[in-house]
Amino acid sequence: MEPQSQNLKTAPFLTLGRFHISEDYGFLLPNPLRELPGHYSPWMEIANRLPQLIESRQLRAQVNEILPRNLALPFVEVSRNLGLPPILVHSDLVLANWATRNPGGPLEIRNLDTIISFPGGESLRGFILVTVLVEKAAVPGIKALVQAVNAILQSSPDSLLQALQRLRVSIQDITGALGQMHDYVDPDIFYAVIRIFLSGWKDNPALPAGLVYEGVSKEPLSYSGGSAAQSTILHAFDEFLGVRHSKESADFLHRMRDYMPPSHRAFLEEICVAPSLRTHVMSSGNGRLLTAYNQCVESLAALRTYHLALVTKYLITAASRAKAQRTSHLPRPPQALEERGTGGTAVVSFLKSVRDKTLETRLHPSG
């Protein structure tokens, strides 16, 4: 992940605007549409009634079991135009699926709503909107990353130090925002209901052959479900800090980049070819920079440890409760999905690996 050396004098300065990243909202879409134009009203009518249609088992009266041609063709075409795969992804569920109740009010759960929903009630609303707040908490970190890259290009150690300190605080704020999951998301509802709608049809033992998109392909197509790994945040921090993951984890993470908006993928590619922060800190001999760099790495590892604890609560412990039939009022999810993340990974071993590889990135003072 650490790039080859390059001529720093000719490298362009990094800006967020080039990649359609908001100075105020980061990777979030600043003003998502609540409604599509009238031509798409059949889609909106179904989308707005999804929770009721699914819970009353009436959805299949509206949508065939095989994704029918009149949905599959426009879905695939719109997805191609957006540069996204034709499945529910992180940018659909989170980045473009939020609105403020009072536009002048703060970005807090009580002032936010989702635009489109599915079964899961208040826990689904909490899951989506807490993730929106995680994305918002990352904004200062994204801006600090840009400041740091430009500080290296300008040979400005003071600006670089300030940027690393801001990045550390942002990562800690992300961890704090993520902690609101405990307040707004019921583990049993997440495990038995919400997770099923994010499971996709790739690396999913419950749908091993994939899904037929009528009129698009005669063979089933396989796509991963929505996953936190499709958020650009940690990919950007990993690339910037020079974190190297195991081949298996890195392969999965790079595949998840295909599920990001193209401009966000381009932002990651720009970070990849920017001057290496890790190499710069090692060669600088600046103890304050080394300390600030290590604090960023340690904060990122702490965030991953916290995420691992959340996954244990919302997946492993919830699975045990479901097996013991302590949640008999909820549907039983497919047994094949019991310990898999929504992106299709064996999630606990994956999260432990990326956390441990993050810690291995720490630098040690020379001599």
- Give per-residue pLDDT as tens, 185-232: 999 999 988 988 888 888 777 667 888 899 999 898 999 988 999 999
Mean pLDDT (the chain) is 87
Q: Which two tokens stand for residue 352?
A: 């432990």
Judged against a pLDDT cut of 50, whether residue 328 lies above it is answered with: yes
pLDDT value at position 142? 97
Residue range 339-351: mean pLDDT, rounded: 66
Q: Tokens in use for 14?
A: 């990094």
224-276, pLDDT tens digit by residue?
Answer: 988 999 999 999 999 999 999 999 999 999 999 999 999 999 999 999 999 99
Q: Place 330 in a pLDDT band, splitting at 50, 70 and 90.
A: low
pLDDT given for residue 333 in this prediction: 57
The per-residue pLDDT for 42 is 74
pTM: 0.86
Q: What is the predicted pLDDT for the residue at 159? A: 97
DSSP result, 54-107: HHTT-HHHHS-SSB-HHHHHHHHHHHHHHT--SS--HIIIIITS-EESSTTS-S
Are 185 and 134 spatial neighbours (Cβ–Cβ below 8 Å)?
A: no
The DSSP element (H or E) to which 283 belongs, if any, is helix 277-284
CB atoms within 10 A of CB 49: 15
- To which residue do tokens 């949508």 refer? 63
State the Cα–Cα distance between residues 60 and 142, nearest whole angstrom. 43
pLDDT at position 139 over 90? yes
- What span, in angstroms and rounded, lies between the C-alpha atoms of 197 and 262? 24
Between these two residues, 23 and 71, which has the higher pLDDT value? Answer: 23
User: Tell me, what's the pLDDT at 12?
Assistant: 60
DSSP state of 9: G
Scanning the structure block, which residue is given the tokens 């008999």?
328
Amino acid code (one letter) for 171: I
